[in-house]
Amino acid sequence: MVSITTQLIEWYSENKRNLPWRETKEPYSVWVSEVILQQTRVNQGLAYYYRFMKEFPDITSLAHTPIDKLLKLWQGLGYYSRARNMHQAAREIVTNYHGSFPRQYKDLIRLKGIGDYTASAIASISFGERTPVLDGNVFRVIARFYGVTESTETAKGKKKFKEILNHLIPEKYPGTFNQALMEFGAIHCTPRNPKCLECIFKSDCFAFNHDLIDQLPVKKQKIKQKHRYFNYLHVVYKEYTFIEQRTGNDIWRLLYQFPLIETNSEVSIDELEQTDRWKEIFNNLNPRIDLPFFGKIHILSHQKLYVRFYKIHIDKLNGFITAHLMKTHTDKIEEKGVPVIIEKYLNLKYT
């Protein structure tokens, strides 16, 4: 009887997608692809991967680039902490490992932003270490085939999945096995409408034979979505405007934006003018405000943003408080890394 592991690897050799990072085992390329594809579909991530590798062809070029340049290239992918962590990890590799990736899981996982999944992927694919990967695709395939009912979000559940994978992963070509398992989940054993009737494992699949395809893997609890209200002030002075850099432990850290007033609910322009932040910025000026404003709802994984852009004209800088604000030519804003919602506003030519 052919083993599940052998069947899976054979399936992969015949059905895998032709993707550029599969043409090499070089750890830098593997790392870049794995980070980009976290929370990103392959068809979207592919273009970013090509641009990334063209701009930063090796670990040294990435380590030495300014963070603003990296964030600008990353714009539109979201989850910007991935880019910030990559930048720091690249510097660690250049400083502590002489520009060469550490070859073992135990060292890779110590790098900034590299968790169990990414460390396992690099160690197995690039260096042949027998260490299984756990991602959404893997959880789904294993849970359905073996009927695993433990939650993928618990330590007990993850331990159960690891035990199964440690039994399946071969000594030879562990990286190929890991890629095969992930690919099978991505294009065959999909979350919705999996190809069960043509599946090579259907006769032994627990979920298929017990009508549990839609129940496995056990879903994590739905994230409670936070509602936030952003009021951006697009201040116009001649051919200039003003931006600020987001700091602190919040979304879009280190990206640039127009001056922001965040409120607890939707407010009128009259109410906005009474906020301390407005008074701090405009002091004794009487700015002219274009109405109507531009408004849009922006959805993140755990937040729903109600965003308004107010275009505001000032005729002089005397009295305008520019602390923490950067004066920039209107045409130069797009050279900075900005959140997607601001990019959409700029593309509407409201500037």
Q: Is 335 one of the annotated active-site residues of the chain?
A: no
DSSP state for residue 130 in the 8-state scheme? -
What is the C-alpha separation between 272 and 265, in angstroms, rounded? 11
What is the C-alpha separation between 322 and 283, in angstroms, rounded? 11
What is the C-alpha separation between 305 and 153, in angstroms, rounded? 27
Catalytic residue from among 14, 34, 55, 150: 34
Q: What is the biggest distance separating any 2 CA atoms in the chain, rounded to whole angstroms? A: 83
Number of neighbouring beta carbons within 10 Å of residue 218: 15
DSSP string, 157-209: HHHHHHHHHHHHS-SS-HHHHHHHHHHHHHHTS-SSS--GGG-TTTTT-HHHH
**Per-residue tokens: 346:** 């700029």
- Residue 298's contacts (CB-CB under 8 Å, 6 or more residues apart) are 304, 305, 307, 340, 341
DSSP string, 16-53: ----GGGG---HHHHHHHHHHTTTS-HHHHHHHHHHHH
Residue pair 174/131 in contact (Cβ under 8 Å)? The answer is yes
DSSP state for residue 237 in the 8-state scheme? B
**Per-residue tokens: 161:** 């999945």
Task: Tell me how far apart the terminal alpha carbons of the chain are, to the nearest angstrom.
Answer: 67
Nearest to 22 by CA among 187, 185, 182: 182
Give catalytic residue positions.
34
